[in-house]
Chains A and B, each alone.
Chain A
Amino acid sequence: MNQKNSTKRQGYVGWIEASICIGSFVHVKMFLANPRELCQMAGTAAWMVPLIGVIGAIVIFFILNHLTATFSRASLLSIAGLFWGPTIQFLLGILFSSLFILISGYELRIFAEFVLTTLLPQTPISIVVISMVVLNIYLAIGGFESLSRTIMIIAPIGLTVLTLALTFGGTMGTVYNLSPWLGYGFWDTLSAGLLYTSLYEEIILLGFIAPLFREQKDFRRSGLATLVLSAVLFVFAQVVYEMCFQIQSAQQMGFPLFQVTRLIRFETFLQRLDPMFVFVWASVSSVGLAVGLYGAALTLTQGIRATDFRPYLIPLAVLSICVSFIPPRSLDAVNTYSFIPWLLQIPFYGLPVILLLWSKLFYRPQENRP
């Protein structure tokens, strides 16, 4: 196993830092079109979807945790290499790197469309995309430890502002909008919840950065904290969004959480707070996208058994720019991005499950060790 190689010149990370870092990657979608999509899928019961989804994600995480505990926190790709040889490890590395680039690219495009639609309509989209990617490269080049330091500065401000935004926004809504309580029905809500286990699929990144944890308990804490924090924020945001908008409107709203913040108005005393929130959200999103870029570089590095991920950051960033320009219009970007996560959960959740099954059924440690 060459997990040490892939973590060359990277320090260890604490469980809180890792949680917030991966949590920010998970949450980029919350600032985009996700609350609206949940409303389209589950109607007034959309706020239950992240709750149901997190149960599935926790099961997957425990599989991941068991796997990494068995293999001394080796990365998933190292374990795959151990089982199936370097060719499969190479192919999986390419695959996961591509998937991270796909997610980042689409999120980048929708983020840029958001900026253009709401704040900077005259600015060329390439300027927004390239500026964001340059920032992502700068953040990611220092590795996960550097990313986590950055996010630990931003997170307290970001979480405070987000909580205030949602709390203030919630006061503009009404609880009647949350009813009828089961949306399109119990089974529809349950199936939407299971489908949207994909909300947390970025948690797989923990499997690739496992070597960066000092102890297994840090890994476990980090994963659970990420899932709980993400679920709480998803549910909070969704409840506030639904309270503010009647379900028919909620299903058609562009950039849902931004629209919630635009509603905040306490007489003339407190109003027009949305630019402040946009600034904070842009900061959190930039870190989230940087984590995605880092994930792409790291998986590629682990797949090809290279020693350092840094040389791949810029080429992968260019690729993410290319991906971001694939959709001809923002509508295509949003529509494609709405089903990409459903498909991605197959490889993202499937890999740890297959690896665990393989380790239990076919792997004999004594035979493979000198």
Chain B
Amino acid sequence: MRSWLKWICVCIVFATLALQTGCWDRNELENLAFVLTMGVDRSIDNKIDVVMRIAVPGNIGGPTGKTGGESITQTTKPITITARTIPEAVSLAEATVERRVDFRHLRVLIFGEEIAKEGVLPYLDVLERFPQFRRSVYIWVAKEGPARNIFLTAEPVLEKSVSRYVDDVARGVVRYGYTRMPTLHDFLNEVDNHQLNAVLPLVGVNPIVSSEKKDGSVRPLPTDKYHQEIEGNVEPGGKTLRSLPRSGGNPSEFLGIAVMQEGRLIDKWSAWDARIYGLLRDSYRGGIWVFDTPNGKGPFSVIIRRAQQPKIDVTWEGDKPFIDIHLFLEGQLLSVLALEPYVSTDRITLLESQVVDSITAETSQLIERAQKEKIDPFYLARSIQMRSLTMQEFDSLDWKNRFSGASVTVHVDFKIRRPGLRIQPRSEESR
């Protein structure tokens, strides 16, 4: 290269260094307002309320939050904007928040019950298009009422960081299985598959705990008053859609699932149903279950884990499908309340049979319910999909209708693998 050309190049490089020191897309942390959670509710005049919980970075402390604020009400601030669309609400929020509103750290989007019944898909379009939103965002549905109630009442027991709170809740779901925690990506993938119904987790606000919350902190009721509040609630927690009988802690509770049809909420299933759903959908990994002992002297508790993926076989007789479902589970004994000596090779099968009978009955009931409603959130068509050759063949299956008339057989394979750290319980005689 000629020497004058080299010098020109060097000059251009230095001029570039000097002149291009800034950039159009600079993102200074101190100029951004990170929205951590967002809610969408039906408002008046056919508008929507968009609730955004914005992080207050100065109040967020270290990993334990000791140096930061005391609760999420101090580490975050909720604002509600009423607008026609989410982008409009974001745009209007920019006019009220002194920093640029940013969604790159958004962890969850909550829909109110009413708007979920109308359909959530129109509001998810922006989440798919705008790159600040990630498909790893969780989508929740308020069990009753608006999502805003959840924002106003949520008071995590330990976490001061909203992001960690959401992540912890999602991890907890895998441990107890009372709901399912799909991300936006999971949900949209399910919505796109016309042979199944997508589900979303239900988030409820416990009325007792909510009433205990005053001035930003929860003050548990006296025992007598608490017992008055829960009187008449005879079913075990999670069996129905009723709120848990409890006092103190976080008013929000994650029990049950919202069954969706083309993005619309069409049914709500309880926490117990959600576990059965998880077994069939193969999203269940583990949880504590309680069953009555064979002689009815008191319940026993087991941790039930999924041993292997369920085997679903569909055969046809004309247009009628015959569905054979095998669930493979294993367990660990946690307690036998009656202190009866079931933990021996011959008697432990009594407990196992009890579990098998109970889960088989619950599964059959839930499948019947789905058949009546002509929905299949369990994705039982997956075995047909794997055997289909062409997309036209699978798309023309009209599975939900055919499933409604299907004959379903459920087999549960269950073994209590471990009795825990004690073999037989302490007997009545030894006491």
Give, as a whole number of angstroms, the nearest-CB distance from A262 to chain B. Answer: 6
Give, as a whole number of angstroms, the nearest-CB distance from A326 to chain B. Answer: 24
Complex contact A185–B390 (CB within 8 A): yes
Give, as a whole number of angstroms, the nearest-CB distance from B105 to chain A. Answer: 10
Report if A249 contacts B (CB, 8 A). Answer: yes
Complex contact B135–A246 (CB within 8 A): no
Instruction: Give complex CA distance A262, B184 in Å.
Output: 12
Given known pairs A44-B391, A179-B386, A271-B136, the reply for A117 and B193 (CB within 8 Å) is no
Give, as a whole number of angstroms, the nearest-CB distance from B30 to chain A. Answer: 18
Q: Could you say which of A43, A123, A124, A180 has the most chain B C-beta atoms within 10 Å of its C-beta?
A: A180
Report if B389 contacts A (CB, 8 A). Answer: yes
Given known pairs A176-B382, A245-B189, A249-B192, the reply for A183 and B390 (CB within 8 Å) is yes
Complex contact B135–A263 (CB within 8 A): yes
Residues of B within 8 A of A44 (CB): 391
13 cross-chain CB contacts under 8 A: A43-B391, A121-B131, A123-B25, A179-B387, A182-B389, A183-B391, A184-B390, A184-B392, A246-B193, A249-B189, A263-B135, A263-B136, A267-B171
Give, as a whole number of angstroms, the nearest-CB distance from B303 to chain A. Answer: 22
Complex contact B390–A180 (CB within 8 A): yes
Give, as a whole number of angstroms, the nearest-CB distance from A269 to chain B. Answer: 11
Given known pairs A118-B131, A247-B391, the reply for A123 and B189 (CB within 8 Å) is no
Given known pairs A123-B23, A176-B385, the reply for A262 and B167 (CB within 8 Å) is no
Complex contact A180–B24 (CB within 8 A): no
Complex contact B391–A259 (CB within 8 A): no
- CB proximity to A under 8 Å, residues B293-341: none
Give, as a whole number of angstroms, the nearest-CB distance from A271 to chain B. Answer: 7
Report if A357 contacts B (CB, 8 A). Answer: no
Residue of A nearest to B381 (CB): A176
Closest 6 CB pairs of A and B: A180-B388, A122-B24, A248-B192, A246-B192, A123-B24, A246-B189
Instruction: Give complex CA distance A323, B231 in Å.
Output: 76
Report if A306 contacts B (CB, 8 A). Answer: no
User: How many residues of B are counted as interface, with CB atoms below 8 angstroms from the partner's CB atoms?
Assistant: 26
Instruction: Give complex CA distance A121, B100 in Å.
Output: 14
Instruction: Give complex CA distance A181, B386 in Å.
Output: 8
Proximity bits, A122-166, B CB within 8 Å = 1, else 0: 111001000000000000000000000000000000000000000
Complex contact B391–A184 (CB within 8 A): yes
Report if A276 contacts B (CB, 8 A). Answer: no
Instruction: Give complex CA distance A70, B382 in Å.
Output: 55
Residues of B within 8 A of A183 (CB): 390-391
Report if B291 contacts A (CB, 8 A). Answer: no
Residues of A within 8 A of B131 (CB): 117-118, 121
Instruction: Give complex CA distance A266, B193 in Å.
Output: 25
- CB proximity to B under 8 Å, residues A249-273: 249, 259, 262-263, 265, 267-268, 271
Residues of B within 8 A of A259 (CB): 135
Instruction: Give complex CA distance A265, B107 in Å.
Output: 13
Instruction: Give complex CA distance A180, B24 in Å.
Output: 46
Q: Could you say which of A120, A176, A267 has the most chain B C-beta atoms within 10 Å of its C-beta?
A: A176
Instruction: Give complex CA distance A244, B135 in Å.
Output: 11
| B24 contact from A43, A124, A248, Cβ within 8 A | A124
Instruction: Give complex CA distance A123, B24 in Å.
Output: 5
Instruction: Give complex CA distance A6, B23 in Å.
Output: 41
Instruction: Give complex CA distance A248, B386 in Å.
Output: 17
Complex contact B192–A262 (CB within 8 A): no
Residues of B within 8 A of A172 (CB): 185
Residues of A within 8 A of B25 (CB): 119-123
Residue of A nearest to B388 (CB): A180
- CB proximity to A under 8 Å, residues B357-416: 382, 385-394
Report if B239 contacts A (CB, 8 A). Answer: no
Instruction: Give complex CA distance A185, B388 in Å.
Output: 11
Instruction: Give complex CA distance A331, B278 in Å.
Output: 41
Instruction: Give complex CA distance A233, B189 in Å.
Output: 25
A179-B386, A180-B385, A180-B390 given; 4 more Cβ-contact pairs under 8 Å: A120-B23, A127-B24, A184-B390, A184-B391
Instruction: Give complex CA distance A318, B24 in Å.
Output: 24
Residues of A within 8 A of B136 (CB): 262-263, 265, 271
Report if B418 contacts A (CB, 8 A). Answer: no
Residue of A nearest to B132 (CB): A121
Give, as a whole number of angstroms, the nearest-CB distance from B382 to chain A. Answer: 5
Instruction: Give complex CA distance A117, B25 in Å.
Output: 12
Residues of A within 8 A of B190 (CB): 246
Proximity bits, B187-226, A CB within 8 Å = 1, else 0: 0111011000000000000000000000000000000000
Report if B175 contacts A (CB, 8 A). Answer: no
Instruction: Give complex CA distance A244, B24 in Å.
Output: 33
Give, as a whole number of angstroms, the nearest-CB distance from A264 to chain B. Answer: 9
Report if B264 contacts A (CB, 8 A). Answer: no
Give, as a whole number of angstroms, the nearest-CB distance from B186 to chain A. Answer: 10
Instruction: Give complex CA distance A117, B134 in Å.
Output: 14
Complex contact B189–A120 (CB within 8 A): no
Complex contact A182–B135 (CB within 8 A): no
Given known pairs A120-B25, A182-B389, the reply for A249 and B188 (CB within 8 Å) is yes
Instruction: Give complex CA distance A245, B128 in Å.
Output: 13
Residue of A nearest to B164 (CB): A268
Residues of A within 8 A of B391 (CB): 43-44, 180, 183-184, 247
Give, as a whole number of angstroms, the nearest-CB distance from A241 to chain B. Answer: 13
Q: Could you say which of A121, A184, A249 has the most chain B C-beta atoms within 10 Å of its C-beta?
A: A249
Instruction: Give complex CA distance A120, B394 in Å.
Output: 41
Residue of B nearest to A43 (CB): B391
Complex contact B24–A263 (CB within 8 A): no
Residues of A within 8 A of B386 (CB): 176, 179
Residues of A within 8 A of B189 (CB): 177, 245-246, 249
Residues of A within 8 A of B188 (CB): 246, 249
Proximity bits, B168-185, A CB within 8 Å = 1, else 0: 000100000000000001
| A180 contact from B134, B193, B393, Cβ within 8 A | B393
Give, as a whole number of angstroms, the nearest-CB distance from A100 to chain B. Answer: 25
Instruction: Give complex CA distance A262, B190 in Å.
Output: 19
Give, as a whole number of angstroms, the nearest-CB distance from B365 to chain A. Answer: 26
Instruction: Give complex CA distance A268, B25 in Å.
Output: 26
Residues of B within 8 A of A179 (CB): 385-388, 394
- CB proximity to A under 8 Å, residues B262-290: none
- CB proximity to B under 8 Å, residues A169-210: 172, 176-177, 179-185
Given known pairs A176-B382, A176-B385, the reply for A120 and B390 (CB within 8 Å) is no
Give, as a whole number of angstroms, the nearest-CB distance from A274 to chain B. Answer: 9
Residues of B within 8 A of A182 (CB): 389-390
